[in-house]
Chain A
Amino acid sequence: MRYAYFPGCSLERNAAAYDVSFRLVADALGIELVELDDWNCCGATEYFSLDLLPAYALVARNLALVAPDLDQVIAPCSACYYNMLKTDKSMAEHADLAAAVNEALAAGKMHYEPGRVRSRHALDVIVEDFSLEEIAAHVRKPLHGLRLAPYYGCVTVRPAGHDNPEYPERMDRLLEALGAEVVDYPVKADCCGGHMTQISADTAYEMIRYLLHNAARAGADALVTACPMCQLNLDAYQGQVNAHFGTSFHIPVPYFTQMMGLAFGMEPEQLGFGQEIVSAGPLLEKWRNPPPEEEPSAAKPRRDKQALPMPEPLSPIRITP
């Protein structure tokens, strides 16, 4: 299977762990990635806030770079994925927009025919193009004993994802196939705050706290992400959030591809572990030495496993160290 590959700016540096782990996992699954030659930034959410046509033209240049013999491009970053999807769709639906974008591209001797390239998120490719059985067949060191909170964030599933936009479950099933225990995490598709850390930090910190609080309450060993923006906010800003609210969260935030790599028997160092701000040490220790399986408790569980998910109210803070 050959796909065009658009890593995006985050994966070059800040989210290099995502890039290296995705490439390794893709290789193990037999996916051949053909990186776009001389790709440019997708504009994230910033360009669309300033100037619409250049924002579309910026993304269209990348779409035009997809080799003629390929018709799908994979982006692991949710913003890159959605910007490409949105540009292709808007151009396909609005001929005047497509004409204007192509007139701009012509200034660089390029052209993009709307509908030619299908943009796909890395998570979607893995769960759609492979069955859970195929993925499980690659597992060498299952994630037994790890309690993981799957965190999808926004644009991985909204507005154009293929999963439920309110309560997605694809990563849940994937992590289960790797042997992990998936905790009840009803805020799994809530927002991490995006670029709000730069514009209104208080707004962002509250959103991040909410996500960490629910993960801690569920007893998660890690919050597993599929987006570099979510990872940055939850990982790099966890210390700021703790300082701001007087909390003491310590929840590592690996990418789902890093967890796949661990389960496939790869070494943590290969997969970019060590680049996280909140150390994944305790998580990896638990992966190396899984706790013995607990005997089923005779006590009646507080809540039926099949019950509807219950989100935690925002306040008061009830986390104890």
Chain B
Amino acid sequence: MSEEKKSFLDEVTAIPGGERLRTCIQCGTCGGSCPSGPDMDYTPREIFAMIMAGMREQVLKSNTFWFCVSCYFCTVRCPQNIPITDIMYRLKRMAIQAGYFEASITDFSETFVGQVETYGRSFELGLATGHYLRHHPLQSVRMSPLMLGMISRGRMAFTPQRIRGARQLRAILRRAKELGGAW
């Protein structure tokens, strides 16, 4: 299929197992199972109907997938075996590519991934302080007792752990990004 003829549905389903989305029967089990459903603009069932209808912009501008907590209740309950959680991840990636997002929503993921790419391991103190100071400076005051508690109990490191193969890992990830366009 040529690039311009690719429908929104084709793009969304282009992940391992994603084709199952075409079998959605609109039963609503997903929305009824979702612990953060009440905070979503549209329930997963509604989002799937909108995807079928080609409503690209409304779907990718919605907050639905950002509220997905990856609990997999919808996935295990779906009578059509649609990998719903993976489709939510897919929508997040598409929304980022389209530029439809508030920076603070994806920044947590980006900060996390940036650290992993640099050091090979995640660095919780840097993650927590960096994220809060940038986006929620007032909240960071409220969070400081928590941080102090974690630090005083030795549960937060002050320096990141760097793996020996950090350079090798970066080479792998760089190659994966070059190859990764279609996913």
Docked-complex contact A275 and B113, CB < 8 angstroms:
no
Per-residue A-contact encoding for B152-166, CB less than 8 Å = 1, 0 else: 011111000101110
Given known pairs A58-B116, A104-B179, A154-B72, the reply for A236 and B108 (CB within 8 Å) is: no
Is the C-beta of B45 less than 8 angstroms from some C-beta in chain A?
A: no
Q: How large is the interface on A (under 10, 10 to 19, 20 to 34, 35 or more residues)?
A: 35 or more
- Chain A residue with Cβ nearest B161: A12
The residue from A47, A101, A199 contacting B105, defined by CB atoms under 8 A apart: A199
Q: Which of A22-30, A38-46, A129-137, A212-220 contacts B (4 or more CB under 8 A)?
A: A38-46
The residue from B72, B96, B156 contacting A50, defined by CB atoms under 8 A apart: B96
A163 to chain B, nearest CB (A): 12
Chain A, 35-78, CB within 8 A of any chain B CB: 38-41, 43-54, 56-58, 61
Docked-complex contact B169 and A54, CB < 8 angstroms:
no
Is the C-beta of A196 less than 8 angstroms from some C-beta in chain B?
A: yes
Per-residue A-contact encoding for B167-180, CB less than 8 Å = 1, 0 else: 01101111111011
Q: Please, how many angstroms separate the alpha-carbon atoms of A166 and B77 in the complex?
A: 9
Chain A residues within CB distance 8 Å of chain B: 9, 12-16, 38-41, 43-54, 56-58, 61, 90, 93-94, 97, 100-101, 103-110, 154-155, 158-159, 165-166, 190-191, 193-196, 198-201, 203, 207, 236-237, 239-240, 274-277
Chain B residues within CB distance 8 Å of chain A: 15-17, 35-36, 39, 66-67, 69-73, 75-76, 85-86, 89-90, 92-93, 96, 105-106, 108-110, 112-113, 116, 120-122, 124, 128, 131, 139, 142-143, 145-146, 149-150, 153-157, 161, 163-165, 168-169, 171-177, 179-180, 183
